[in-house]
Copies of this chain bind each other. A is one copy, B any other.
Amino acid sequence: MNKFVQDITSRDKDFARWYTDVCLKAELMDYSDTKGFIIYRPYGYAMWENIQDYLNKEFKRTNHENVYMPLVIPERLFQKEKDHIEGFAPEAAYLTTSEPMEEKLIVRPTSEVLFCEHYRKIITSFRDLPKKYNQWCSVLRWEKTTRPFLRGKEFLWQEGHTVHATEAEAKEETLEMLHIYEAMGKNLLARPFVTGLKTEREKFAGAIETYSIEALMHDGKALQSGTSHYFGQNFSIPFDIKFRDSDNSDKFVYQTSWGVSTRLLGAVIMVHGDDEGLSLPPYIAPIQAVIIPIQSQREAVKTAVDKIYNDLKQQGIRVHLDDTNKSPGWKFSEYEMKGVPIRIEIGPRDLENNQATISIRHNREKRQVSLDELNNLNALLKEIHDQMYEKALNHVEANTHVVRDYQDFGKTIDKGGYIKMSVSLDAEEIIKEEHQATSRVIVDEPLLNELCPVTKKQATHTILFARAY
């Protein structure tokens, strides 16, 4: 049976079901035998590897170093920072063996405390600072409800942890990493992120400030896609991470942490996909162009596609030649489902005219191009990337609503999207209770109105609200 030609649920009919259909049928993942744990299949994992490559270059450019910390953390370390253990204890998973354990070991849900212990040992002088480490690993959080890539008992991520001599330098680091994530959205994922500070209520357990990158999905819900935290001395004091400064005085370090996870794959799927399946922006796509020969048994076709394949590879394009004996129609559906940005068809008739047919996945445009033009495929990839970014940006702009009246809030939030409103901070809880919407970020803009439309108190912050994943 041709599994790719099966209909998938339409996005507008049931977005949640469309999403899992695409995850499974584009062969990004599969469910494992343990509930809440997924298998990252080659096509999905390759997208994650492209994110890793992009970020590793950025981390290196900004003088960060990769390390690897243990999978397990003694519970006693977690307890040194009160907010931190309170935040993570409910979802903690422990390790046991047939022998009794000397102490309780938590399988890492995040590694702040391991980095703190290590930094305490290796830092003595201002000359040792800053230290800017990053770790790629998987973490465990015993979530009750899970969805592929968006929320799992295990997920893959990177966690950066840095220590600095001064508050100013640590704050600068927090923002630099936020901007690296923001630029990744634009350059790699072809999607804009809204960035800003989280409110006290939504910030990370143990942080002074949490900045977030937020993405808007096709269904109008928001997805927190990454965070960058400023810790100040919240960890360095209980963990006793001190250094001797150049003036010979002992000081506690200032710290940050920041991370993005395989959640980003969920964002890419939900922002760009359509009713034919996945639609991938070129720079994260594992296959950027697929060549499908028509009547591939003919020698002339075979020779031509082999040459084109090698030429494109030479140009550094991630190209795939599908010369299996499946029908062209079957192949078209398969690579549409997999969201390959460019499809190149070549048959005997094309060759007579020294041309090929190009189909562009995201806007379904078809073009006849001369074979020479295939030497310029990188320009086309750039064009596609820019168009997809524009489309996602327009979607965010069209779905960001300024609201000054709490009556309007209810009507607007049901349509989906962001609501921008100037409120007093105690409005957050009321809005969550009454509309299941949360504060996504504080917007760095002047107040829209003097009084909070919810509480009628003095408005203090302009906030983006949304329902969220």
Residues of chain A at the chain B interface (Cβ within 8 Å): 30, 32-35, 37-42, 45-46, 48-49, 65-74, 77, 90, 92-99, 102, 105, 107, 114, 117-118, 121-122, 127, 133, 137-138, 140, 142, 154, 156, 324
A38, A67, A92, A140, most chain B CB atoms within 10 A: A67
Since A33-B114, A40-B67, A94-B95 are in contact, a sample of 6 more A-B pairs with Cβ atoms closer than 8 Å, ordered by chain A residue number, is A35-B102, A37-B72, A42-B67, A71-B154, A93-B97, A127-B324
A32 and B103 CA atoms in complex are apart in Å by 14
Q: A70 touching B34 by the CB < 8 A rule?
A: yes
Q: B95 touching A95 by the CB < 8 A rule?
A: yes
A34, A69, A117, most chain B CB atoms within 10 A: A34
Given A42-B133, A95-B95, A117-B33, A68 and B142 touching (CB < 8 A)?
no
CB-defined contacts of A121 to chain B, threshold 8 Å: 30
Q: A72 touching B118 by the CB < 8 A rule?
A: no
CB-defined contacts of A133 to chain B, threshold 8 Å: 42
A74 and B34 CA atoms in complex are apart in Å by 7
Closest 10 CB pairs of A and B: A37-B70, A42-B65, A40-B68, A32-B70, A94-B96, A97-B142, A93-B97, A33-B74, A96-B96, A45-B67
A87 nearest CB across to chain B (Å): 15
CB-defined contacts of A99 to chain B, threshold 8 Å: 142
CB-defined contacts of A98 to chain B, threshold 8 Å: 90, 92
CB-defined contacts of A33 to chain B, threshold 8 Å: 73-74, 77, 114, 117
Q: A34 touching B105 by the CB < 8 A rule?
A: yes
Q: Which residue of B lies closest to A74 (CB)?
A: B33
CB-defined contacts of A127 to chain B, threshold 8 Å: 324
A65 nearest CB across to chain B (Å): 4
A119 and B455 CA atoms in complex are apart in Å by 57
CB-defined contacts of A48 to chain B, threshold 8 Å: 68
A168 and B389 CA atoms in complex are apart in Å by 49
Q: A71 touching B117 by the CB < 8 A rule?
A: no
Cβ contact of A45, chosen from B66, B72, B94, B122, cutoff 8 A: B66
Q: A67 touching B38 by the CB < 8 A rule?
A: no
A70 and B37 CA atoms in complex are apart in Å by 6
CB-defined contacts of A45 to chain B, threshold 8 Å: 65-68
Given A42-B133, A45-B68, A70-B154, A96 and B93 touching (CB < 8 A)?
yes
Q: A46 touching B66 by the CB < 8 A rule?
A: yes
Q: Which residue of B lies closest to A115 (CB)?
A: B39
Q: Which residue of B lies closest to A40 (CB)?
A: B68
A378 and B98 CA atoms in complex are apart in Å by 53
Q: A71 touching B118 by the CB < 8 A rule?
A: no
A456 and B398 CA atoms in complex are apart in Å by 88
A258 and B37 CA atoms in complex are apart in Å by 24
CB-defined contacts of A90 to chain B, threshold 8 Å: 98
A122 and B73 CA atoms in complex are apart in Å by 36
CB-defined contacts of A37 to chain B, threshold 8 Å: 70-72
A302 nearest CB across to chain B (Å): 20
Q: Which residue of B lies closest to A114 (CB)?
A: B32
What are 17 A-B residue pairs whose CB atoms fall within 8 Å in the complex? A30-B122, A32-B118, A33-B117, A34-B73, A38-B70, A39-B118, A42-B66, A68-B138, A71-B107, A71-B154, A72-B154, A92-B97, A94-B95, A94-B97, A95-B96, A95-B107, A107-B107
A31 nearest CB across to chain B (Å): 9
Q: Which residue of B lies closest to A70 (CB)?
A: B37
A206 and B24 CA atoms in complex are apart in Å by 31
A97 and B92 CA atoms in complex are apart in Å by 7
Q: A30 touching B97 by the CB < 8 A rule?
A: no
A330 nearest CB across to chain B (Å): 12
CB-defined contacts of A156 to chain B, threshold 8 Å: 68
A383 nearest CB across to chain B (Å): 28
A150 and B72 CA atoms in complex are apart in Å by 19
